[in-house]
Structure 1
Amino acid sequence: MTAELNSFHRILEVEMLPVTEVADGRFDGILIVASPYYVHDLKEFSRTLTLAIELDNGLRTEAGVIPLPNYKAGRLIYSPVGCVDEDYDDVRCFRKAANIGIRRAIKAGVTKPMVILQNHPQFNNGSLITLVGVLEGLYVPLQIREKDPRKIHNITSLGVYSKYHDEIDELIQTASLLETGRRIACDIGDSDPERMAPPKVEQYITTIFADTSIKIEVIKDVKEFAKSYPLFEAVNRAANKIERHHGRIMFLEYMPKEEVKKTLFFVGKGVTYDTGGLDVKINGGMAGMSRDKCGAAAVVGFFKIVERLQPKHLRVIGGLGIVRNSIGTNAYVQDELIKARSGVMVRVGNTDAEGRMIMADILCKMKEMAVNAVNPHIYTIATLTGHAVLTAGFGYNIIIDNGPAKKEKHAQKLQLMGEEISDPYEISVLRREDFNFMKGQGVGDDLISSNNKPSSVTPRGHQCPLAFLIMASGLDKHGSGHEKPLKYSHIDIAASTLNYPNPGTGAPVLSLANAHLLNLEHN
């Protein structure tokens, strides 16, 4: 792992240099991300840009390289954000344009670009998100770094200039911090099913948190699965015949040195490959299912930002269910009855609804801990349903609150934090019908894990699984009308991370960091 991590850090820690002189000879390209309607603000380059746009109208919507004969850098890479509609556009236009721009610079052979940050009257966070987009464009997937280093870009340093920001160093540090967490999420989430099979996920996580403040517990004993996490054990059963696919349950914990004032619990779905089990995915439905571990990956990415920031009053606990949903004679099956950790009897309805199965017992464990925790809030994060993609469309997280969280308007607050940081949310609501749908239908069963159809053809197909998680974990005993109400929110990231083979996004690391680590005044 040593060589791999050295590669990781070499690419991650691109030297970012705040500079004061645009004409500095250290740089061989200048990258500008701006609207064509605001090029007049770029006094040094406005004439050059205006003439170039007049000559090539395509520069209003597409990135291009423009000669700069009077500057040592020699060339300007202009990546337009396009015409911004103040009613419907959001700050992602800067992230996308910056990503495209830095990739265009790489194609042009630039090795030391300087990014000139611009203000936009509608987006206060535009400069930060521009840097986020640039760093995102510099990310090289883990397996490419390991298997074919020739495909790594040649960018060695990155200059950052702005006449609008006094705290440019702080802006750079924030962008680098966010990208650190996002890249770790992408390393885990985007790697193929063998490179990030459960034991290798464990290896990666324990390595990046070695000698840090993050405490790690790993459970791999099948007997312990059967005793304490029986729903997880059922999904793991077929994969457990293959040593390199043996499942893992991992717990991460950060404990602040000062008084705890808030406690966050995260449960992440880490299905390293989802075949659908015996309800096998057909018609090409398995493609991209190596990303079914992006929920767990996001939790790990968030923890890396926690480890870097060392928040003084925030305790964070994460539970990861890392497993392969395999096919075989030992696989769990429809109609099987399994008694969950909480004591409820679950009848399996569809083996392709494995995500809720692997999370429910871990969620129950978190519930047990949250009862005695200081100001707790529990999250599940998962690429849980195809229905989420149909509901929101690619690029959006879906957030659903339980009753106690809804009363605090948590979803609306997280949506605002997501909008600020280019990690947007759609809000869904739990209804009585969702709970009724998941109740048992046979003698002795309390719940069904799923109906017998895919979520994508099931009405309320992304809300019903949350009702299952609440009832299967025992969180239904901690609603608003109970003695110890617990806030719980579910984030379905299928629509924000599963757009395979497009690059991974690391969602929702940025929004969670913005909500809980960067904007402490909002908490």
Structure 2
Amino acid sequence: MNFDLKTLELPAAATEKCDLLVVLVPEGFKPGRDALSTLAALALKQGDFSAKPGKSLPLYQVPAVAARRVLLLGVGDGSARSVRQALGATGAALKAPQTKRVVLCFAGSAQADAVCAAVQAVADASYVYTTTKPKAEARSLARVVVGVPDPSEVRVAFYQGVALVEGVEFAREWGNRPANHATPTMLANAAKTLAKQPRIQCKVMGPSEVERLGMGSFMAVAKGSEEPLRFIELRYSGGAKDQAPVVLVGKGITFDTGGISIKPAAEMDEMKFDMCGAASVLGVFRALAELQPAINVVGLIPACENMPDGRSVKPGDVVTSMSGQTIEVLNTDAEGRLILCDALTYAARFKPAAVVDIATLTGACVIALGGVRSGLFSNNDSLAQALQAAGESAQDPCWRMPLDDDYADGLKSNFADMGNVAGRAGGAITAAKFLQKFVGDMPWAHLDIAGTAWKGGAAKGSTGRPVGLLVQYLLDRESDAASAAKPTAKRARAKAA
């Protein structure tokens, strides 16, 4: 799908030939004398239409309007949140087979973040999964024109929105694939395709390399599967060579049966989504390829299946992690933390500015926060605040949870340095406390996306979250670094003078 940004106000929008013209009407709309303004004003006056977010009025072959169909769409205060909410309800119109070219026209002023949100909302509402549905109708929407009064004011935000669409859809695609179409090897191959993009490199390690690294915890989880594990290392080099990178670590359990501690059969199919943390890291790198920011980022993905087998790790087994710490595996269904801990130890070699791990880690986080906010845990207040602010800005919110040391008491073991579970109470927190044992003094955050990475029921599918949050965080870091460098440059010039 192609997006274009165009200077377009309502009089000119009426002349645009398209299958669907969406007029984004804000509260307090001030009509002109053109046909679309007159139409919207009359509909508002008669009460047939409201400018509240999501309210709409579909029209067909309106006189003096070139578009075959017109949709008046209320966007409330015109904020990014209202625009996204409104466009999110237009899926049926955007997915219609006859809808190939759409024009979005802001009937009032266009805020930069609202334009970014509009691009993402259209892509989200029109998304269609087809990889393993050969008879499904592919996305018919091919081109979207976003019309605003002054493109120069929103151009950066528009292209950020387009890049986020690429990243989120890459993550959704891999999240939605069945496990036999998204094995660890296939996931590694997807990462290799990203290395064809500028400034991105990819390294893939197999069982022998992982064994040499001493990743006994990761290897223990993979033992029960016929599919070989893969440890994926991605690097985006956009900053100076001496700039410390941000390391993103994504949980890549491509299917989770629970292992010997096997899960109930009901809804086990949804455990194909247990690699959505990994998918989000891939999505971030896809977006970075488009945005090309001046930062350095490393992506680490430990990928394997968790299967029951004669070779599988058993409850009560003790494994040795890459850090040298031993772990008593009390529950084999708490496997995500077992692969992440070795990846977090590996992350230290990059001397990172920050480490963020992303994982569908606990059902407890779903109980705590539902599907609205991801759980955020961190040992660093500045990092936590930056991630939370990025989430709010990107409309991909998270919520900080506690990390009191007392929560780690349940992880004590009589037979190892720690157990891998600590009972039901505070399960999302104790999982985070387990991971914290492997980060040392690195600035670290853990995003538990078990409630936000996918939806169940009739809307079953990957959401692509938290790609938006992570990309916004990285762009904010780039902006902060640029701002900090300017005074330094000024002082240097003054000293030279």
Q: What TM-score range do you get, normalising by the shorter chain?
A: 0.7 to 0.9
Residues 84-105 of structure 1, C-alpha deviations (whole Å, 9 max, x = no match) = 9xxxxx8444223213225424
2:185–2:230: 8 Å Cα contact kept in structure 1?
A: yes
Distance 1:277 1:360 in 2: 18
Distance 1:293 1:77 in 2: 38
Deviates more, 1:376-385 or 1:261-270: 261-270
Tell me what 1:130 maps to: 118
Of all paired residues, the percent bearing the same amino acid is: 22
1:237–1:332: 8 Å Cα contact kept in structure 2?
A: yes
1:217–1:250: 8 Å Cα contact kept in structure 2?
A: yes
Residues 33-52 of structure 1, C-alpha deviations (whole Å, 9 max, x = no match) = 445x3444687534423544
Residues 332-359 of structure 1, C-alpha deviations (whole Å, 9 max, x = no match) = 1110001111111100011111110011
Structure 2: gaps spanning 5 or more residues: 482-497
Tell me what 2:417 maps to: 446
Q: State the SS of the aligned residue for 1:288.
A: helix
The one-letter amino acid of 1:506's match is G
Identify which of 16, 21, 27 aligns with 1:30: 21
Identify which of 431, 435, 453 aligns with 1:469: 435
Deviates more, 1:44-53 or 1:511-520: 44-53
Distance 2:169 2:343 in 1: 25
Q: 1:41 to 1:448 in 2, by over 3 A?
A: farther
Residues 15-45 of structure 1, C-alpha deviations (whole Å, 9 max, x = no match) = 425243212343232113445x344468753
Tell me what 2:88 maps to: 99
Identify which of 250, 255, 259 aligns with 2:232: 250
Q: 1:43 to 1:139 in 2, by over 3 A?
A: farther
Distance 2:451 2:142 in 1: 33
Distance 1:32 1:106 in 2: 18
Q: State the SS of the aligned residue for 2:367.
A: helix
Give, in angstroms, the shift of residue 324 of structure 1.
1.1
Q: State the SS of the aligned residue for 1:494.
A: coil
Distance 2:127 2:32 in 1: 28
2:143 is the alignment partner of 1:157: yes
2:176 is the alignment partner of 1:190: yes
Matches within 5 A, 1:279-294: 279-282=261-264, 284-294=266-276
Distance 1:385 1:42 in 2: 54
Give, in angstroms, the shift of residue 488 of structure 1.
0.6
Tell me what 1:411 maps to: 384
Distance 2:417 2:239 in 1: 43
Give, in angstroms, the shift of residue 83 of structure 1.
8.7
Distance 2:31 2:211 in 1: 61
1:91–1:125: 8 Å Cα contact kept in structure 2?
A: yes
Tell me what 1:18 maps to: 6
Give, in angstroms, the shift of residue 77 of structure 1.
1.7
Give, in angstroms, the shift of residue 184 of structure 1.
1.2
1:39–1:46: 8 Å Cα contact kept in structure 2?
A: no
Identify which of 320, 339, 344 aligns with 1:339: 320
Give, in angstroms, the shift of residue 439 of structure 1.
2.4
Q: 1:51 to 1:330 in 2, by over 3 A?
A: farther
2:448 is the alignment partner of 1:492: yes
Q: 1:237 to 1:167 in 2, by over 3 A?
A: same
Tell me what 1:7 maps to: none
Distance 2:33 2:115 in 1: 18
The one-letter amino acid of 1:494's match is A
The one-letter amino acid of 2:318's match is L
The one-letter amino acid of 2:180's match is E
Q: 1:120 to 1:389 in 2, by over 3 A?
A: farther
Tell me what 2:278 maps to: 296
Tell me what 2:258 maps to: 276
Q: 1:63 to 1:387 in 2, by over 3 A?
A: farther
The one-letter amino acid of 2:406's match is E
Give, in angstroms, the shift of residue 128 of structure 1.
1.8
1:142–1:187: 8 Å Cα contact kept in structure 2?
A: no
Q: State the SS of the aligned residue for 1:495.
A: coil
How many residue pairs get matched? 472
1:79–1:101: 8 Å Cα contact kept in structure 2?
A: no
The one-letter amino acid of 2:64's match is N
2:254–2:274: 8 Å Cα contact kept in structure 1?
A: yes
Q: 1:17 to 1:49 in 2, by over 3 A?
A: same
Give, in angstroms, the shift of residue 259 of structure 1.
4.4
Distance 1:41 1:396 in 2: 38
Distance 1:519 1:339 in 2: 35
Tell me what 1:429 maps to: 402
Distance 1:210 1:221 in 2: 25
The one-letter amino acid of 2:452's match is S
The one-letter amino acid of 1:271's match is I
Give, in angstroms, the shift of residue 269 of structure 1.
0.1
Residues 166-218 of structure 1, C-alpha deviations (whole Å, 9 max, x = no match) = 33443332211111111111111121111111111112221232264212111
2:49–2:55: 8 Å Cα contact kept in structure 1?
A: no
2:344 is the alignment partner of 1:363: yes
Distance 1:82 1:172 in 2: 20
Q: 1:168 to 1:131 in 2, by over 3 A?
A: same
Tell me what 1:515 maps to: 473
Matches within 5 A, 1:164-175: 165-175=151-161
Distance 1:184 1:206 in 2: 13
Give, in angstroms, the shift of residue 58 of structure 1.
8.7
Structure 1: gaps spanning 5 or more residues: 1-10, 85-89, 479-485
2:361 is the alignment partner of 1:384: yes
Give, in angstroms, the shift of residue 384 of structure 1.
0.7
Give, in angstroms, the shift of residue 515 of structure 1.
1.9
Residues 385-426 of structure 1, C-alpha deviations (whole Å, 9 max, x = no match) = 111111112131121111xx22x2x22222122111211111
The one-letter amino acid of 2:344's match is L
- What TM-score, normalized to structure 1? 0.83
The one-letter amino acid of 2:356's match is Y
2:88–2:121: 8 Å Cα contact kept in structure 1?
A: yes
Matches within 5 A, 1:141-152: 141=129, 143=131, 147-148=134-135, 151-152=137-138
Distance 1:340 1:43 in 2: 71
2:331 is the alignment partner of 1:350: yes
1:31–1:102: 8 Å Cα contact kept in structure 2?
A: no
- What TM-score, normalized to structure 2? 0.87
Deviates more, 1:381-390 or 1:214-223: 214-223
Deviates more, 1:323-332 or 1:55-64: 55-64
